[in-house]
Amino acid sequence: MKGIAHFVTGVTAASFFPWSIEAALAGNPLYFVLGGAFGLLPDTLDFKFYRFFYRHDLTLDPDPLHPDPQGMAEALAGAVAQARREGRTVRAKLNTISLGADAWQQYTVRFDADAGEVRVRFGPAVNTGQVPIPGTQPDRPPEGRAALEGPLVQTYDAETTVDIFDGPSFAFEPEADGRVVLHFLPWHRTWSHSLTLAAGAALAAWPLFGWRAALVMIAGFLGHVAEDQLGYMGSSLLFPFARTRFKGLHAMRSGDAAPNFLVVWICGLLVFWNLWRRAPAPPDIGFLRYALVGMLPVALFGLAHYALARRRATDPADAPGEWSDPMAE
């Protein structure tokens, strides 16, 4: 989910507690602020702090004037082999290639477990909106291939597109049977998304803000984690007792427009409903009328989304990338 969806989810969670409404009516928005803040907290810890302290064993920094896809493919295959040979997790970072103020060199990395190889292919230059710049698409995109030594286990998309801002990270974790497990963004959704952190933060806040605030904080945090479990990556829910990320439900991606819109809209309806039913003199709005009015924008959005999806299906240039900008998660 996008940050705005997580924030609104936290605010909505706060609105279900009677003391949140009572305090707001008295002019104190503390509970709503805490709910929204803890709805954002897990990703804030990751993207604003933890990723800057995460150490990598291999950093690929392609030369913008003389790209070497073959060397990059061999370096990634070597990292996989190193993890298996040394019996430890090897972490790799792929840097983006800036060509100017609003131009980036796009390239893709594909770990093909079935073919037993890693492929790196350079594509067109794109602007910051990830739209290809005319005249930069090569007729024969430079491509490099390198064989993988032994089996590789995929836990995310096989292909990753690297273009704007910050590039992705991978971790290659060896297993006892000789396989190597590939983890995408290994620094994301680990300790920062654990239920133990939520409980610890609430206990620490209890003496400062009281038990009511602690419950609101936990609710906002759990709303964020629950939404993340709908995606592909999952979260380390029981860190540090279980450090692996629980597999997501693969129902959506963090950058998908439809689920983000629906979450924000439905949360807005729930907040309004909770405020309305606890107002001192609520207006006469029946639930059926409220539901019908609330569903009309959803229907209009659904029609617009369907039309855009049909356009993308017929125009490859409008197709979204394989993964969304992690900074927006």
pLDDT tens-digit profile of 64-109?
989 899 999 999 999 999 999 999 999 999 999 999 999 999 999 9
- What whole-number distance in Å separates Cα of residue 252 and Cα of residue 250? 6
Q: What is the pTM of this model?
A: 0.85
Whether residue 316 is predicted with pLDDT greater than 70 in this model: the reply is no
- What whole-number distance in Å separates Cα of residue 145 and Cα of residue 169? 19
Among 19-23, 183-187, 304-308, which stretch is predicted with the lowest mean pLDDT?
304-308
Quick one: pLDDT at residue 310? 73
Handedness of CA 161, 98, 51, 71 (dihedral sign): positive
Quick one: pLDDT at residue 304? 79
Among 101-110, 135-144, 175-184, which stretch is predicted with the lowest mean pLDDT?
135-144
Q: Which two tokens stand for residue 258?
A: 């439809």
pLDDT band, very low/low/confident/very high, at 41 (cuts 50, 70, 90): very high
CB 257 within 8 Å of CB 240:
no
Quick one: pLDDT at residue 301? 75
Whether residue 284 is predicted with pLDDT greater than 80 in this model: the reply is no
- DSSP label at residue 47: I
108 closest CA partner among 63, 147, 143: 143
Quick one: pLDDT at residue 283? 73
Q: Which two tokens stand for residue 245?
A: 């990320």
Among 119-123, 175-179, 248-252, which stretch is predicted with the lowest mean pLDDT?
248-252
Per the model's pLDDT, the better-predicted residue between 305 and 98 turns out to be 98
pLDDT band, very low/low/confident/very high, at 323 (cuts 50, 70, 90): very low
- Residues 181-227: pLDDT tens digits? 999 999 999 999 999 999 999 899 999 889 999 999 999 999 999 99
Handedness of CA 306, 310, 316, 317 (dihedral sign): negative
Quick one: pLDDT at residue 312? 63
Quick one: pLDDT at residue 324? 45
Strand (E) or helix (H) holding 90: strand 90-94
Quick one: pLDDT at residue 317? 42
Whether residue 328 is predicted with pLDDT greater than 80 in this model: the reply is no
- Sequence length of the chain is 329
Per the model's pLDDT, the better-predicted residue between 84 and 277 turns out to be 84
Handedness of CA 33, 229, 319, 146 (dihedral sign): positive
Tell me the mean pLDDT in the region 4-22: 97
Quick one: pLDDT at residue 128? 95
Domain ranges of the chain: 3-52+192-328, 58-184
Quick one: pLDDT at residue 325? 43
- If phi > 0 it is left, if psi is from -120 to 50 it is alpha, else beta; for residue 135 that is left
Whether residue 239 is predicted with pLDDT greater than 60 in this model: the reply is yes
Per the model's pLDDT, the better-predicted residue between 288 and 203 turns out to be 203
Q: What percent of the chain has pLDDT over 90?
A: 69
Quick one: pLDDT at residue 39? 97
Whether residue 229 is predicted with pLDDT greater than 90 in this model: the reply is yes
Per the model's pLDDT, the better-predicted residue between 77 and 157 turns out to be 77
